[in-house]
Amino acid sequence: MLSQFFFTLREHQVPVTIPEYLTLLEALKGDVIGPNIDEFYLLARSALVKDETHFDKFDRAFAAFYRGVEAATGPSHEIPLEWLRKQAELNLSAEEKALIESLGGWDELMKRFRERLEEQKERHEGGKKWIGTAGKSPFGAYGFNPEGIRIGQQESRNRSAVKVWDAREFRNLDGDVQLGTRNLKVALRRLRRFAREGAASELDLDSTIDHTARNAGLLDLQLRPERHNAVKVLLLLDIGGSMDEHSRLCSELFSAARAEFRHLEFFYFHNCVYDHVWNDNRRRHGARTATWDLMHRFNADYRLIFVGDATMSPFEILRPGGSLEYMNEDAGADWLQRLTDVYQRSIWLNPTPEENWGYHYTIGVIRDLMGGRMFPLTLDGLERGMRALARKGPLL
Amino acid sequence: MSPRFTGSKTYVATDDLRLSVNAAITLGRPLLIKGEPGTGKTRLAEEVARGLGMPLLEWHIKSTTKAQQGLYEYDAVSRLRDSQLGDPKVHDIANYIVPGMLWQAFESDTPVVLLIDEIDKADIEFPNDLLRELDRMEFYVYETRQLIRAKQRPLVFITSNNEKDLPDAFLRRCFFHYIRFPDKETMEQIVEVHYPGIKKALLREALEAFFAVREVPGLKKKPSTSELLDWLKLLLAEDIPPEALRTDDRKSIIPPLHGALLKNEQDVHLFERLVFMSRRS
């Protein structure tokens, strides 16, 4: 039965391994816990999951497994439907109740709700439909909406039916969702390339022994510089217009990048790169750098990272004169081509959620121009991006 | 039957934390602890050591710490110097091997608690260099050709602030516990442990105010348990009456001595601006 549990976890993409599973079995044999499902849940989580970003997946997997066990062993716990109904009726206005009736009454609603719950498990995000608005909906209870009704804390007869894992309190920690400066730094660290340069401050033992021996046994200390991250990064940021809504995310990325890379050069552009980039976002036309100069000044060692939503009119990329700001002689696509030719290690980070990319034609265009090296600005996307930056040429 | 940790008079351990600690003790695996700063990760090791009556060895990790330093260090420079001076000590290399924290933990006759604090501060390869040592509890000293093996498996606690990912191979060998931010009841217990007999009214108001500050959207660093405790200490020292913390509209007051809660000047600005705005409206 437990191996079934193990495979349920794997199906839900919790990264568990066989040694960890064996550890769990060992712990069960070692009588660490009593015969109690809650303790088993905690022990299993402690032994199998090593990262709080996976806690939510684990909770969902556990819930699925537990439901399977319940189905096999008979209905020990029901979902506290009565309670839900009571609670919801307390909070709903007459109109809303009428609406619920029009949807087919409570039982129908609950059935639909369960369906949606299953559906939600697959996609995990995007459950903002009519479920879970401001905690008035009964569905809030299931943790669709953090502000919703919390069944678990209610003193209900049926309390035992709602388990810790159903509360899904670690949802916010799921890796695909949140990005903070700290997480970003972690992702950017993948791009480290160490080299020794700068002031010599570390004792080089081998060389000291060597020189001491040559010096007829008289001590001759040799120092060498410490290792530093020597990777060079050229960051081009899309600013203004449709990027405004992503400004917070971009500023976090920016501050993380500044802390991580000693050789970081950054410039701004609007929508697409043309003849010039701006040195300073506020003084757009005052301090400009010609893109040709950019390519000459920073050699091909630099890794090029574009940050932009790539959402614009196709003309802005494909036609000369398509720029919103001035008359450009060469099309944006040509400039992108030139840049990616010089900087073989380049990626485009897009703050637009990946599932929405299909709705914007130009995202596809730029993605093709970048040789498929476009990644969403999420932790996961950033990690994929950093891996892609380590290699040259188009993505397979 | 292995010893069990049940929390202590000065440390409130939730059920899930106790279970993780006891599982790690029973199986002799390292326990990796993560959580928001200030939720008592480091304190846990101290309290477990005290609760089980074991000595505590602390190894604080810095960005320059190397895994080797936890095992032993070969002091080549003093040996070179001694050789210049003709010191007879120089003939035995063992004189220049300085044992590190892990060595001390392995050599101990009684089981010890070993705390590896803030492992994420070190370089990204650091945990990988300790895999075998933590798994088999042994390592080899190349200079003296001797194998150091743990006489008693030490109880290893590892804390991390999540600044760096830890490698999977390392994680596989550990138990893991994420200390969540305490809810109100747990927080009351924690405060009671630190300031026994604190006035109920003051505590209630202070906790309300504290959780309200934590709710403020957009804070860079939310205040944590240790900040709350500091703040309460100040409130007690200044003898602030509970009424000073109370308000009908919680948004329109700046709690006294809020500098103890918000440690980032941008956060203080943001907070004051929000309060100012809600006062005006």
Q: Which of A50, A192, A217 sits opposite B174 (nearest CB)?
A: A50
pLDDT confidence bin for B247, thresholds 50/70/90: low
Kindly tell me if the per-residue pLDDT of A216 is higher than 90: no
- Residue B61 has a CB neighbour count (10 Å cut-off) of 22
**Contact between chains at B124 and A39 (C-beta distance less than 8 A):** no
For an interface test with A, give the residue of B4, B27, B32, B214 to mutate (most A CBs within 10 A).
Answer: B27
Give one DSSP letter per residue of A18-73, joined into a string: HHHHHHHHHHHHTT-S-S-HHHHHHHHHHHH---GGGHHHHHHHHHHHHHHHHHHH
Identify which of B23, B77, B163 has the shortest CB distance to residue A47: B23
Q: Higher model confidence: residue A345 or residue A76?
A: A345
Q: How many CB pairs under 8 A join A and B?
A: 80
pLDDT for position B97 = 92
Longest dimension (CA), chain B: 83
Q: Which residues of A touch B27 (CB under 8 A)?
A: 23, 26-27, 30, 32
Ranked by mean pLDDT, the top range of A1-5, A144-148, A235-239, B252-256 is A235-239
**Highest averaged pLDDT of the listed ranges A95-99, A274-278, A285-289, B50-54:** B50-54
The confidence score (pLDDT) of residue B164 equals 65
CB contact under 8 A, B27 and A26: yes
Q: Which residues on chain A are in Cβ contact (under 8 Å) with B34? A: 52
Would you call B81 and A219 a contact, using CB atoms and an 8 Å cutoff?
yes
Which residue from A19, A170, A221 is facing B172, i.e. has the nearest CB?
A19
**Which stretch of A160-174, A248-262, B126-140, B245-259 has the lowest confidence by average pLDDT?**
A160-174
- HSE-CB for A273 with a 13 A CA cutoff: 29
Lowest pLDDT segment from A72-81, B99-108, B152-161 = A72-81
If you average pLDDT over each of A94-108, A138-152, A193-207, B133-147, which comes out highest? B133-147
Mean pLDDT of B225-236: 84
Instruction: Return the residue of A nearest to B64 by Cα.
Output: A226
- At residue A193, the pLDDT reads 65
Phi, psi of B189 (to 5 degrees): -60, -45
| B236 min Cα distance to partner chain A (Å) | 32
Whole-number percent of chain A with pLDDT over 70: 64
pLDDT exceeds 50 at position B110: yes
What pLDDT is attached to residue B112? 92
Of residues A217 and A185, which shows the higher confidence score? A217
Are the C-beta atoms of residues A382 and A188 closer than 8 Å to each other? yes
Q: Which region among A27-31, A74-78, A377-381, B84-88 has the lowest average model confidence (pLDDT)?
A: A74-78
**Chain A residues with beta carbon closer than 8 angstroms to that of B163:** 182, 185-186
The distance of B15 to chain A (nearest Cα, Å) reads 9
Tell me which residue in A32, A43, A189 faces B164 most closely, judged by beta carbons.
Answer: A189
- B163 phi, psi to nearest 5 deg: -75, -25
Q: What is the ipTM of this complex?
A: 0.75
What is the average pLDDT value for chain B, to the nearest integer?
Answer: 83
CB A217 to CB B84 under 8 A? yes
Distance, in angstroms, between B238 CA and closest chain A CA? Answer: 36
pLDDT in tens, A33-90: 777 788 888 888 888 888 887 888 888 888 888 877 665 554 444 444 444 444 444 4
Chosen for mutation from A16, A45, A50 (greatest number of chain B CBs closer than 10 Å) is A50
User: With an 8 Å Cβ cutoff, are A42 and B22 in contact?
Assistant: no
The whole-number pLDDT of residue B281 equals: 61
Q: Pick from A27, A50, A205: which is nearest to B171 by CB? A: A50
CA nearest B82 in A: which residue? A219
Largest CA distance in chain A: 99
- pLDDT score of B55: 92
Residue A197: per-residue pLDDT: 65
pLDDT of residue B88: 87
Q: Could you tell me the two tokens for A170?
A: 């670690």
Amino acid, single-letter form, for residue A16: V
Cα distance between residue A348 and residue A376, in whole Å: 8
Is A204 in CB contact (< 8 Å) with chain B?
no
Q: Where is average pLDDT lowest: A102-106, A114-118, A144-148, A169-173?
A: A144-148
Instruction: Report the residue of B162, B166, B179, B222 to disrupt the A interface, i.e. the one with the largest count of A CBs within 10 Å.
Output: B162
Question: In degrees, to the nearest 5, what angle opens at C-alpha A383 toward C-alphas A379 and A388?
Answer: 145
Q: Do A189 and B124 make contact, defined as CB atoms within 8 angstroms?
A: yes
Edge-to-edge strand ranges of the sheet holding B56-60: B56-60, B113-117, B155-160, B31-35, B175-179
pLDDT at A60: 84
**Two tokens at A119?**
């559906």
Q: At what angle do helices A37-48 and B15-27 cross, to 10 degrees?
A: 60
| pTM score of the predicted model | 0.60
A206: nearest CA partner in chain B: B76
Across the interface, do A219 and B172 touch by the CB < 8 Å criterion? no
Is residue A255 predicted with pLDDT exceeding 80?
no
> What pLDDT does residue A109 have?
57
CA distance B20 to chain A (A): 6
Q: Does B78 touch chain A (CB under 8 A)?
A: no
Q: Most B CBs within 10 Å: which of A32, A202, A247, as the mutation test of the B interface?
A: A32
**Residue A96 Cα distances to A39, A86, A145, B130, angstroms:** 40, 14, 18, 60
Candidate from A134-143, A263-272, A294-303, B204-213 with smallest mean pLDDT:
A134-143
- For B163, the closest of A47, A182, A203 (CB atoms) is A182
What was the pLDDT predicted at A148?
34
Mutate to test the interface with A, among B16, B65, B270 (most CBs of A within 10 A): B16
Q: What is the mean pLDDT of chain A?
A: 71
pLDDT score, position B158: 92
Looking at residue A186, its pLDDT comes to 64
B151 vs A114, A182, B131, CA distance in Å? 56, 39, 18
Which residue's structure tokens are 């032993």?
B72
The predicted pLDDT at position B57 comes to 93
Tell me, yes or no, if B84 comes closer than 8 A to chain A by beta carbon: yes
What confidence tens digit (pLDDT) does each residue in B41-78 have? 888 899 899 888 899 999 999 878 888 889 998 888 78
pLDDT-based confidence at B129, cuts 50/70/90?
confident
Residues 16-35 of B with CB under 8 A from A: 16, 19-20, 22-23, 26-27, 29, 32, 34
- From CA A375, how far away is CA A382, in angstroms rounded? 7
Give pLDDT, residue A161: 34
